[in-house]
Structure formats: structure tokens, C-alpha cells
Structure 1
Amino acid sequence: MINKKDKGFTLVELLIVIVILGILATVTVFAVRGITDQGEKNACKVERRTVETAIESYYAQNQSEPTSEAQLVPDYLKEAPSNVTITYGATDTVTPTISTCPV
């Protein structure tokens, strides 16, 4: 008679594999979170530069600073910026300020 052995994984082996997969999943989640945060910061910087360029273009054509985002939208920006507001500095120069971005 031939000895028949049970083939398969033990409970300990399965638990070790599950723990290893859990560790890999945790590392992946934290890595993706860092990439997402960096992407948001870069998007805010780009939006700020876009508004600064629009303000410079407005000034070049009108010889005055815009007083609101609405003056920039029809000709200089596709839509009103969601994270940038225009505030005036101490010397009455237009300074775009990031209001809600994590920069």
C-alpha cells in the first residue's frame, strides 16, 4: 500500500502570508498618500503662477491692476481660480495669495 500524505498549507503558513500581505498593503497606502499630497502642492503652485501671469497680462493691456478674479476670467483665465484670491499688498501692488492650498 502507498502512503498518502495530506498536501496543503498549515494554518501557521497561511497566517504568515496574510501578515506579509498586510505589511505590504500598509507600506503601499502610505507611499500613495505621500504622492497625493505632493501632487496637491504642485497643483496649487501651478495655479498661483497662472494667476500671476494673468494679472501681468491684464496690467500690460489695461495699465491698471484687476480688482477681482472676475476681471481676469473672460480674457486671461479659462475659469475663476478655486484656491487663489487676489489681495493687495502695502504698496498697492497685486499679490496673488493662496488661501486654501497646503503650500
Structure 2
Amino acid sequence: MSFFYNLKKNPFFKILTNIFVLILIPFLIWMLFFDDNSYLVHRKFDKEINDLENTVSFYEKKILEDKKTIKDLQDSLLLEKFAREKYLLKKENEDIYIIEFDTLKK
């Protein structure tokens, strides 16, 4: 009997038995884990948004690089150089030698 009497005098017990706390705790658990708009779902969406933003920035950089390449290819000498390096095109009566270096460390 004294155990329950001492328990009731404990301030922590008084707080936990408050009706508002008894309603608030299940509500918070529900909102954090089980609801359609739960914290876990929001974290997943935030991660997906960050991934998409990184993808957008990557493609924006690639677009800028391609625009620079297109601008450079307006010059006929650079166009010829690009075609030779990228597509291994050659002039008539010309031989091409491709030298590959082994980049793996042994």
C-alpha cells in the first residue's frame, strides 16, 4: 500500500497520469510513425528531393559544357580537331595510330 501511496506523490507519475499527456503521447507516436504524412515519410521525400536537385545541377553543368563545345565547334579548325579525336576521322592518304597507355597500377 505504501508503494502506491508513494507512487502517487511522485511528480513524474502525476504528469504521466494527466489526461492531456495520456492523449498527447499516442497522438505523437501516431503522427511520427503511422500517419501518411509521418516524419519517416517526410525524411524519405526530403532525401528524394535532394537527389533530384543533385541530378538537376549535374545536368545543368553538362548543358553548360555542351554549349561551350558547340560554341567552340563553330571554328572549322576546332571542328576538325574534335572529329579527329572523338570519332577518329582522317583525311585521305593519312594513317592514324592510336596509342593506349596502361593506367592500372601493378
Q: Which has the higher contact order (CA 8 A, sep 6+)?
A: 1
TM-score range normalised by the length of the shorter chain: 0.3 to 0.5
**Structure 1 or 2: larger helix share?**
2
Larger Rg belongs to: 2
What's the TM-score, normalizing by structure 2?
0.44
What's the TM-score, normalizing by structure 1?
0.45
**Structure 1 or 2: larger strand share?**
1
